[in-house]
Amino acid sequence: MDNVHLMELIYIYQRLKEIEDSLEEAANMIERCLTSASHELDVHLQTVELLLSRKYMEDEAKLTAVLGRMEDLLLIVLDYNSMLTGMLTTAERLLQEERELVAYARDIL
């Protein structure tokens, strides 16, 4: 093995370590995001259930309040979906790069 290949393998190792760290960070962010989303959705769902249990459906203003809370729920779901999609896309890109680097390292060896 010549010096060029050795330097390439060192670079690959360093990059794989960076990818591993990034994937671990992404996994932690996804876990925090899911925990936060779950808590936020629970709070809003409890509010909607409380409003519905008080027969708010009889009054148009109260019905509007319930629908507003339900709209908030939908917006929360969409926001978290967008965040998680971005995080998962980044993780997929990193995994693809990792596969390519490992394949290249195998070719060198």
pTM of the model: 0.71
pLDDT exceeds 80 at position 108: yes
**Residue 11 is part of which domain span?**
3-108
User: How far apart, in Å, are the Cα atoms of 63 and each of 41, 42, 60, 75, 108?
Assistant: 20, 20, 5, 18, 67
Q: What whole-number distance in Å separates Cα of residue 79 and Cα of residue 73? A: 10
Q: pLDDT tens across 7-42, in order?
A: 999 999 999 999 999 999 999 999 999 999 889 888
The predicted pLDDT at position 56 comes to 58
First CA to last CA across the chain, in angstroms? 8
For residue 96, the one-letter residue type is Q
Q: What is the CATH number of the domain that holds 100?
A: 1.10.287
Cα→Cα distances 14→1, 62, 78, 90, 99, Å: 19, 59, 36, 19, 14
Our count of domains for the chain comes to 1
